Chains A and B, each alone.
Chain A
Amino acid sequence: MDPLFLALSCFRRRKFDRCIKICTELLSKNPYDQAVWSLKTRALTEQVWVDECDGEEEGLADVLMDDNTIASVARPGTSLRTAPPSSAGGPSQTFRPSTQSGRPLSGVVRPGSQGGRPGTMDQALRTPRTAQTARPVSATSGRHVRLGTASMIQVGEGPFINLARLNVAKYAAQQNIAKALFEYIYFHENDVRHALDLAAQATQVLEFKDWWWKVQLGRCYYRLGLFRDAEKQFKSALKLQDNINTYLLLGRVYIRLDQPMAALEVYREGLDKFPGEVTLLTAMARIYEGLHDLPKAVKYYRDVLHYDATHVEAIACTATTHFYSDQPEVALRFYRRLLQMGIYNCEIFNNLGLCCFYAQQYDMTLTCFERALSLATDRSIADVWYNLGHVALGIGDINLAYQCFRLALVSDNDHGESYNNLGVLEYRRGNLETARAFFMTAANLSPHMFQPHYNHAKLAHKVGDLQTSFIIVQKALALFPEHVDSKELLKTLETHFHTL
């Protein structure tokens, strides 16, 4: 069989290793065979290719030294970084917990949906860095690091292409191999600068009439942090050719510039051209979620489900919303759907268990939690125990609840919610000092929760330590300005202080 044909066949069947091997052999015989060379570049690229237009996590440096945002003090509802507007629809913070970023808990874990944006350096270094991971300290996101490493594992005789000695201008003129080469440089070598060089020259050669090169230029600019340049390239590419991916990338640029409204506009344009495109709908839903506009987010997720009934993120987010708006039965159906689709992990069983419990399907509850426990990883087991603690509370078994919260702490000693609940239980037992210690720990560990602050303030007020109470209840109100009980507590304290 013709080895080139075999290599192509392997490439199509995604057997890249074999393909590369055959190509290397062929190239050693004839180093100037462009077809083989190009095929090998593509095979090498395919091995490490990732879809970039989705789920990007910003590193610590990006977040903290961010000078790309347009408005430092954005109006409410126009930024992904400000506090939620008080009038936002959907369940309040009392019902639906928020993540560390202050956004409402979402149905899926996405990059950035958990950690969120720390306000200060101190917080950034402390909060997300739990016992499990010290990740946020790294500046570039993990994926890009991984990309770069691919070029290091070299077999045999040095790198496949020596970028430093590459005659960029020559290859830019050869359109048949330039694209493959670009992808190789961009993904496999992770050398954005060379890639940019190639793309710039190639687009020149083609007299700025090729949309593909413009998109690639935009991607390079984006990676280099030149968002305005990237925006220009994407926009000009869109003039030549409508492409979903370009819309998505342009949207990302706006998100990085903290202009969610502009991003929504872009997605909407994209939807005009590509009605019912799931990725665009999902992106819109995510932005609405980030803007605390949950009803709208759910609307878009529902649209997604209309076009793609197996969209995991949409199903999970809709289920979560139903759960937190007092419809555990409906949520249960969505989670069951996920289970039917073959998702089989700790989280799904945990959620099923909770839904069963709140929908009073008691026979299933404990079975689900048992499964969840057996499937749990180190990261999630604390949450499962924590939820079991709530189930125990729900059946009135305080001792069991206490033990569950303890177990949650055993597996994750940074679990602020468990500390808070233990505090409440201690408070009920009358151990005010212990309770106070628990609340303080909880407030330290999870600065995004208002509950420990409020509880601590309430406790301090009860024992008559009004000063502490005053200071702490203000913290609670800063986290959740609409909390009625905190406001009332603050009011009584103020009257105390104002009377002569």
Chain B
Amino acid sequence: MAEAPSSPMNPVAETPESHVNGMTTTLPPGSAIKTKTRPRKAPELQTVERRNWLIHLHYVRKEFDVCKQLIREQLEETRGMCEYANYVQGLILRQEGKIQESFELFQLCNILNPSSVENIKQMARALFLLGKHRLAVEAYLQAEMKLDKPDWELHHNLGVCYMHLKDHEGAREQLLYALEQNKHHQTFASLAKIYLLENDIPSAINTYRAAIEYFPENAELHTTLGLLFMQIGKYQQAFEHLGTTLTFDPTNTRAILAAGSMMQSHQDFDVALTKYRVAAQSIPESPPLWNNIAMCFFGKKKYVAAISCLKRANYLAPFDWKILYNLGLVHLTMQQYTSAFHFLSAAVNLRPTKGHIFMLLAIALTYLDDEENARQAYEQAVSLEARDPSVCLNYAIFLKNHDDKEGALRMINEFEVRMVKFRQSTGADLDAEVIENGAKLAMLLGVDGSAFHKKSSHTRLRADDEANQEPVQPANEPPCNSPPPNEDEEITANDNLPEASTILPLEHSIDPAETENLDNKMKESELLATSHMHLMDEEPVMPSGEFLEEGNKNKLEEDLF
């Protein structure tokens, strides 16, 4: 729409005059006929727009150098009065990243032609790109007033600006209005983002669904929808959408990670690893990727490889408590309790509100024979983690093993309560092993544990950590416990949810695994920044100084004689 600048605004009278004057002087006096015809020709009158078409042509071909050259000539000729040249110059500068300069040019355009909405819109956009959202909103509103018919783009941009200003209500209104005018996938995406910011996942999902109806081949939309489905636990649908993404874009790393993590949760480690191999080509420095790969190895019982991968992930993302949590878990499995303790305590430091870490910490402390602290950690875990039954079970086992029968009874009851709630809320059952252990313990304590078995058809649902379960039997023998292979692996898949950082407070999610997905993501966004610093850290690994001398010490005596 931009390429039709209106000429009336340009003060035509002045520009051509000089040329005319110049020519008159050079002309030989006496050619009366010519002097008559000359004013009629007045070709310079049109100069202002004369080469707009050429500028446009070069601009749309991205031939910016030629285009700039032309613009410069044009502006010299018209003394900066050519609106279109200024306009295109602004666009080119913006693409080169010089927003401030382009903003000034659009301002100039606006002065040249105050009636054009397009100019105001571009000004507003420049303001938006400069991060001055409030001013941008004002500019957009001004543009809107000048428009006679609604413009989806304008409303979309307004909505985005409102979103940046944290005015979700206004943003939603504008975006919905924009959608009425015209369906555009960006509008859908922005709208969904607002729903996510407001923690309204179902609405976000509906938005994406609507978007996919209009844009069935947009991989980005499918991926995001798939991730959202994963978040609410609808794995089947999630998988469908992620699969669609991968058909359209087989190297979409977000989709690969998400799909891989779902395969992992179905114990399909080899397939997941093949998927990750593809992803590793394009994102070799992604902490979530390495974490997931590690948990694949963990599932395949290749513990050393798992530790190695997790270490790398931790190196890349030192602030990610999930990686530390997994490291702790793997080390617990390897019966390296001190190492596990260190990783877990680091995880606790980074994320003091997560019950599961405390539970693992307690388990590590149990093995380190620090009964007092283990008890405290369990207390903390039970109070922080209000849903997961396995926490109570582990605590109960611990209490039982330390001859606190009463406490154990209390905990086993709590376990039962939580288990019932869990079944009601998710419709699925706990891991068979957890139930088994619960029943055993109940028997030992003399409670009726049969209730646990109610429907022990094991729908696989991960019960976090029963790392400690076995010791129920009085003899506290570590070797026999094989912790559940896969509980955390999913962790990362989602790292990619756009802007997830604020999506969900962790407590909201139902399934422990889910939560992890989520905030893992959030971590990601910060981490990126951080991870890098970690690398440096070893930088000083430099045996400096004296080595140098070593190198130079006189060694070649033969040189002398």
Residues of chain A touching chain B, judged by Cβ–Cβ distance below 8 Å, are 49-51, 53-55, 92-97, 105-111, 179, 183, 243-245, 279, 312-313, 316, 320, 323-324, 326, 338, 343, 345, 347-348, 350-351, 354, 358, 360, 362, 377, 379-380, 383-384, 386-387, 389-390, 393-398, 417, 420-421, 424, 427-428, 449-451, 454-455, 458-459, 463-467, 470-471, 474, 483-485, 493-494, 496-498, 500
Q: In the assembled complex, which residues on chain A have CB atoms less than 8 Å from the CB atom of B125?
A: 500
* B548-A390 in contact (CB<8A): no
Also in contact, A313 and B547, with CB within 8 A (given A94-B532, A243-B558, A451-B536): yes
Please list 15 pairs of residues, one from A and one from B, whose beta carbons are closer than 8 Å in the complex, sorted by A's number.
A94-B285, A94-B535, A106-B542, A109-B547, A383-B540, A387-B540, A393-B318, A393-B537, A395-B342, A396-B347, A398-B349, A417-B536, A451-B533, A494-B95, A500-B122
Residue pair A345, B540 in contact (C-beta under 8 Å): no
Give 17 A-B pairs besides A94-B316, A396-B347 with Cβ atoms closer than 8 angstroms. A51-B559, A95-B535, A97-B535, A106-B542, A108-B547, A109-B545, A245-B559, A313-B551, A345-B543, A345-B546, A386-B537, A386-B540, A390-B537, A395-B345, A421-B537, A464-B128, A500-B2
Considering the chains assembled together, what is the distance between the CA atoms of A54 and B555 in angstroms?
A: 10
A350 and B324 alpha carbons, distance in the complex (Å): 24
User: Which chain B residues border A362 with CB–CB below 8 Å?
Assistant: 338-339, 342
Contact of A464 among B98, B164, B284, B558 (CB under 8 A): B164
> Closest Cβ of chain A: how far from B138's Cβ, in Å?
16
Interchain nearest-CB distance for A238 vs B (Å) = 15
Q: Which 7 A-B pairs have the closest CB atoms?
A: A396-B349, A383-B540, A464-B131, A396-B346, A390-B537, A109-B544, A470-B97
Contact digits for B1-21, partner A, Cβ 8 Å, 1 yes 0 no: 010000000000000000000
A369 → B minimal CB distance (Å): 11
Is the C-beta of B142 less than 8 angstroms from some C-beta in chain A? no
**A424 contacts B130, C-beta separation under 8 Å:** no
Are the CB atoms of A467 and B346 closer together than 8 Å? no
Tell me, rounded to whole Å, the shortest Cβ–Cβ distance linking B483 to chain A: 19
Tell me, rounded to whole Å, the shortest Cβ–Cβ distance linking A205 to chain B: 18
Q: How far is the CB of A250 from chain B (nearest CB, A)?
A: 14
B550 & A313 in contact (Cβ 8 Å cutoff): yes
Main secondary structure of the interface of B (DSSP, over half): helix
Q: Cβ of A498 and Cβ of B547 under 8 Å apart?
A: no
Docked pose: A51 CA to B99 CA in angstroms: 57
Residue in chain A with minimal CB distance to B350: A396
CA distance A347 to B544 in the complex (A): 6
Q: Which listed residue, B94, B339, B545, B561, touches A360 by the CB 8 Å rule?
A: B339
Q: Is the CB of B530 within 8 A of A347?
A: no
* Most B Cβ at <10 Å: residue of A55, A393, A420, A458: A393
Known: A110-B551, A326-B312, A467-B129. A397 touches B285 (CB 8 A): no
B541 interfacial by beta-carbon distance below 8 Å: yes
B282 neighbours in A (Cβ, 8 Å): 484
Residues of B within 8 A of A384 (CB): 540
Residues of A within 8 A of B130 (CB): 464-467
| Cross-chain contact A455 with B347 (CB below 8 angstroms) | no
Distance between Cα atoms of A414 and B160 in the complex (Å)? 41
A449 to B539, CA, bound (A): 11
Assuming the contacts A108-B551, A360-B339, asked whether A351 and B345 have C-beta atoms less than 8 A apart, the reply is no
Known A55-B552, A358-B311; contact A420-B533, beta-carbon cutoff 8 A: yes
**Contacts of B531 on A, CB cut-off 8 Å?**
94
Q: A53-B556, A326-B311 are in contact. Are A496 and B129 (CB under 8 A)?
A: yes
In angstroms, Cα B329 to Cα A33, docked, is 83
Question: In the bound complex, what is the Cα–Cα distance between A348 and B545 (angstroms)?
Answer: 11
B336 at the A interface (CB under 8 A): yes
- Of all chain A residues, the one with the shortest Cβ separation from B554 is A51
Interface centre among B546, B559, B561 (most CB of A within 10 A): B559
The A-contacting residues of B in range 322-340, CB under 8 angstroms, are 324, 336, 338-339
Q: Which residues of B contact A420 (CB under 8 A)?
A: 532-533, 536
Chain A facing B: main interface SS? helix
B308 at interface by CB-CB < 8 Å: yes
The answer to whether A465 and B131 touch (CB under 8 A), given A108-B548, A396-B348, is: yes
Q: With A and B bound together, what is the CA distance between A312 and B52 in angstroms?
A: 70
CB distance from A379 to the nearest CB of B (A): 8
User: Given B99, B324, B534, B546, which contacts A467 in the complex, CB threshold below 8 Å?
Assistant: B99
Complex Cα distance, B561 from A97, in Å, reads 44
> In the complex, which residue of chain B has the Cβ closest to the Cβ of A42?
B560
Choice from B133, B286, B543 contacting A347 with Cβ under 8 Å = B543
A97-B539, A467-B99 known; A393+B551 contact, CB < 8 A:
no
CB distance B540 to A380 under 8 Å?
A: yes
Chain A nearest CB from B102 CB (Å) reads 9
Which residue from B133, B530, B541, B546 sits with its C-beta under 8 Å from A428? B530
B61 contacts chain A at the CB level, 8 A cutoff: no
B213 at the interface (CB under 8 A from A): no
- In the assembled complex, which residues on chain A have CB atoms less than 8 Å from the CB atom of B555? 51, 279
Taking the complex as formed, is B100 at the interface, i.e. its CB lies under 8 A from any CB of chain A?
Answer: yes
Contact of A497 among B95, B122, B542, B545 (CB under 8 A): B95
Whether A458 touches B529, Cβ cut-off 8 Å, given contacts A55-B548, A313-B547, is yes
User: Does any Cβ of A come within 8 Å of B76's Cβ?
Assistant: no
Contact of B542 among A55, A105, A471 (CB under 8 A): A105
Shortest distance between the CB of B544 and any CB in chain A (Å): 4
Nearest chain B CB to A66 CB, angstrom units = 23
Do residues B131 and A417 form an inter-chain contact, with CB atoms below 8 A? no
Query: Do the beta carbons of A109 and B528 come within 8 Å of each other?
Result: no
The reply to whether B350 and A50 form a contact with Cβ atoms under 8 Å apart is no
Q: Is B451 an interface residue (CB 8 A)?
A: no
The answer to whether A312 and B342 have CB atoms under 8 Å apart is no
Q: Which of B487-514 contact A (CB under 8 A)?
A: none
Residues of B within 8 A of A390 (CB): 318, 534, 537-538
Given the contacts A97-B535, A108-B551, A466 and B540 also touching, CB distance less than 8 Å: no
